[in-house]
Amino acid sequence: MSRPIELWYWPTPNGWKISIALEEMGLPYVVRPVNIGAGEQFSPEFQAISPNGRMPAIIDPDGPGGEPLSIFESGAILQYLGVKSGQFYPSDPRGKVEVDQWLFWQVGGLGPMAGQTHHFRQYAPAMIHDQRQIAYGVRRYTNETHRLYGVMEQRLRDRDYLAGEYSIADMTAWPWVLPGLQGQNMEDFPKLAAWLERVGARPAVRKGRALLEELRGNAGGSGKDAEAARRILFGQRAHKT
């Protein structure tokens, strides 16, 4: 029996990608919480696995050749898990490219742009009292997120999933479609709304999305705890050796 994969995780959209994939693929795993609001992502133990100081990361004790393997970056993790399990990631070159292009589109576009939308709409108002200073950021990233939703809407006009069959491409994009937080009206995107519901109804997606949800904080709120979390999340300095 395979030894469980260690999932270094916190309940955020990037973390959900991997918890959803592990549930969908039926791979055994154990959770190693990384409280990003408390700065645990900067610990030497975690940065030995994830040099960028970002979660998620995994350690597979049964990696290639039977040796342990650590991986950071969600896209690389999803590709590895897809190959390891033989699921949700095609082996034929054309199918693989179809999935890869949407995987990279998410990690290079939807995730970063939607993340900036979150920052300016949810966190910046608690950090900057002069709202005129954040108005441009709100418009810029909300509009770009709207454009990216439109890319998915167009893609889903004649298919149920981003790469044809349900795959890691859907697992990577689904957690980042959060219209309430991103200022989007889903009436503008009926195909995307149906996809969002279709993927979200999968039992493994629901289970992966709920993992450690009770620990999720509110860095966009008020109070000393929220302010301390914002200082850690957004006032980061280069790691000192």
> pLDDT grade, residue 241 (50/70/90)?
very low
Q: Does 93-207 match 5-88 at the fold level?
A: no
Only one residue has tokens 């979200």, namely 200
Q: Does domain 93-207 have CATH number 1.20.1050.10?
A: yes
Angle in degrees, CA 162, 166, 171, rounded to 5: 75
Edge to edge, the sheet with strand 29-33 lists: 29-33, 5-9, 57-60, 69-72
54 pLDDT higher than 80: yes
* pTM listed for this prediction: 0.89
Q: Give Cβ neighbours of residue 100 (< 8 Å, ≥ 6 apart).
A: 79
Beta bridge partners of 7: 31, 58
Q: Do β-strands 29-33 and 5-9 pair in parallel, antiparallel, or remain unpaired?
A: parallel
Average pLDDT over residues 158-163: 98
d(CA 59, CA 52): 16
Residue 238: its pLDDT value, please? 41
Beta bridge partners of 33: 9
d(CA 18, CA 30): 12
Q: Give Cβ neighbours of residue 44 (< 8 Å, ≥ 6 apart).
A: none
DSSP state of 220: T
Say if residue 11 is preceded by a cis peptide, omega within 30 of 0. Answer: no
221 pLDDT higher than 70: no
d(CA 212, CA 69): 24
Give the number of C-alpha atoms closer than 13 A to the C-alpha of residue 63, restricted to the C-beta side: 12
Give the number of C-alpha atoms closer than 13 A to the C-alpha of residue 214, restricted to the C-beta side: 0
Q: Give Cβ neighbours of residue 116 (< 8 Å, ≥ 6 apart).
A: 137, 140, 141, 144
Domain 5-88 belongs to what architecture? 3-Layer(aba) Sandwich (3.40)
Say if residue 4 is preceded by a cis peptide, omega within 30 of 0. Answer: no
Residue 227: its pLDDT value, please? 62
Q: Which tokens in the block code for residue 85?
A: 């399990």
Domain-by-domain residue ranges, the chain? 5-88, 93-207
Q: Which tokens in the block code for residue 117?
A: 């939308």
Residue 142: its pLDDT value, please? 95
Residue 2: its pLDDT value, please? 79
